[in-house]
Amino acid sequence: MKSFKNNQLFQLTFTQFLETIREPEVLFWGMLFPVLISIGLGFAFTQQSEAKFQVMVVEQNQTKIDTLLSVYAHPSRIQGKPAETWKVKDEILGNTEFNFIRSDWRSAIVSLKRGEADLIVGDTLGRLYYHFDPHNSQAQLVYMKLSALLQSPSGVTSNTDEAEIKPLTLKGVRYIDFLIPGLIAFGLMSSILWGISYTIIERRSQKLLRRMVATPMKKSNFLIALMFVRILMNFVEALILFFFAWLIFGIQIQGNIGALLVLFLAGNIAFTGIAVLISCHTSKTEVGTGWINAVQMPMMILSGVFFSYHNFPEWSIGIIRALPLTALTDGFRSIFNEGGGWIEILFPSAVLSVFGVACFLIGLRRFKWF
């Protein structure tokens, strides 16, 4: 036991671990912040609250809207302006609230540009016209709901003789089920890139690496110690995030736990390799921060952490799927939500591991200690 404690790799790992946990910022951003994001987004997208839409009304003459609002709406104030609120109840899809604000055309356009309104309703010669951005899915939803409501003012019915809505109650179909695996994968990437790359670059800029190399320390032990600590911290962070998601939202892992751990390890290997490659030659923290953001930001946006990457153009899907974070996120979701096992993670785990080892070897070959 004594010889083990005197082991160089153990001492480096233990020292790095103490440096990490003694930083309050690390504990907050790495452990508490992802939990807060998941709770906030989980409540926002899983609670069946009222959907509220702002509609600007621009009209020259008396229209059908005036007649319907006089019957179904009640006076209110929105954004400090007089408005008319029309509430539509729906026990299955959730209640909808339309807030109609009367305005001239110029003011209505300004409200639309500022995001204060979702849609503009106008009339020309007694005919209604809907003005909105056709590429805005929120505006499309408002248009479909409002146009249906104006045709059937008694309310949008959920059931008819021809069709009936059957809400899904299957595990893994909620937005929070989609979000948590993505947050775990993103947290893993972010923790390694900043925890390894930035640490190496900062120590090089402060001439600390030069002093460490002057000691009998093995260079490989220093990098291995950084990697061990990051993997341990990532495991703890992922465990805490999953615990709160399970406790609050009932998140469950439907697939193979062993396969999940192997994929988790492969993701750590992949991003450790990238981190070493990024930091192998950079000696300025400003440059290093730029490189880390250049790697992290595109994958955070493209890899489907917060929303599906299938929203991007079809030609880009193949490129997006080749990104390490995409492979890791898709693999996590297949295990969490689809009951995936060894077969599903075999290929992405192998690719991530090989890619990480290749990046690590290239970075190690070009590594500058001072």
* Dihedrals phi, psi of 39, to nearest 5 degrees: -65, -45
**What mean pLDDT is predicted for residues 3-24?**
64
Question: What pLDDT band is residue 47 in, cutting at 50, 70 and 90?
Answer: low
Instruction: Tell me if residue 92 falls in helix, strand or coil.
Output: coil
Pairwise CA distance, residues 190 & 34, whole Å: 11
Q: Is the pLDDT of residue 63 over 80?
A: no
- What does the pLDDT read at residue 60? 66
pLDDT digits (tens, 9 = 90+) for 75-104: 888 767 788 888 888 766 678 888 898 888
pLDDT digits (tens, 9 = 90+) for 125-182: 667 888 888 878 888 888 888 888 888 776 544 444 455 555 555 666 677 888 889 9
- Per-residue burial over 191-229, b if 16 or more Cβ lie within 10 Å, else e, is bbbbbbbbbbbbbbbeeebeeeeeeebeeebbbebbbbb
* Dihedrals phi, psi of 312, to nearest 5 degrees: -80, 165
In the sheet with 96-102, reading across from the earlier edge strand, the strands are 74-78, 81-88, 96-102, 51-58, 119-124, 127-131
What are the angstrom distances between the C-alpha of 41 and each of 28, 191, 241, 307, 311? 18, 21, 13, 12, 19
Q: Which residue has the tokens 């069946």?
A: 48
**What mean pLDDT is predicted for residues 232-249?**
86
The total of other beta-carbon atoms located within 10 Å of residue 283's CB is 17
Tokens at residue 54, please?
A: 């702002």
Helix axes 285-302, 324-338, angle to 10 degrees: 40
Indicate whether this model's pTM tops 0.75: no
Q: How many CA atoms lie within 13 A of 226 on its CB side?
A: 23
